[in-house]
C-alpha cells in the first residue's frame, strides 16, 4: 500500500473503508481523533458520496 508511506511520514493512522461504506469504527476515529486527512484512490476504490461524507466529518471535527 502506497498510503502506508504517507501515514508513516505524518505518524498518522491508515484507515480503510469499503468502496461505498464507512465502517462505524473508522467513522468514530475520524470524528474523535482526526482533524485532517487524505483520501487515496479514485472512484474505482471509493465513491464520491463516501469521500464527501468523510470530508464532512473531518470539517465537523475542527
Whether residue 62 has pLDDT greater than 70 = no
Residue 61 has pLDDT above 80, yes or no: no
Run of H or E including 31: helix 24-33
Count other Cβ atoms within 10 Å, centred on residue 38: 10
Over residues 15-55, the pLDDT tens digits come to: 999 999 999 999 999 988 888 899 998 899 999 999 999 99
Task: Look at residue 39 in the predicted model and tell me its pLDDT.
Answer: 92
Q: How far apart are CA 34 and CA 43, in angstroms?
A: 23
CA–CA distance, 47 with 51 (Å, rounded to integer): 6
6 touches 38 (CB < 8 A): yes
Q: What is the pLDDT of residue 25?
A: 93
Section 1-7 average pLDDT: 87
Instruction: Check pLDDT > 90 for residue 4.
Output: yes
Amino acid at each position: 500500500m502506497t498510503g502506508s508511506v504517507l501515514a508513516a511520514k505524518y505518524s498518522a493512522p491508515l484507515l480503510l473503508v469499503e468502496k461505498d461504506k464507512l465502517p462505524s469504527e473508522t467513522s468514530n476515529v475520524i470524528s474523535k481523533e482526526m482533524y485532517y486527512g487524505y483520501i487515496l484512490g479514485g472512484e474505482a476504490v471509493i465513491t464520491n458520496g463516501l469521500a464527501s461524507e468523510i470530508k464532512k466529518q473531518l470539517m465537523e471535527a475542527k
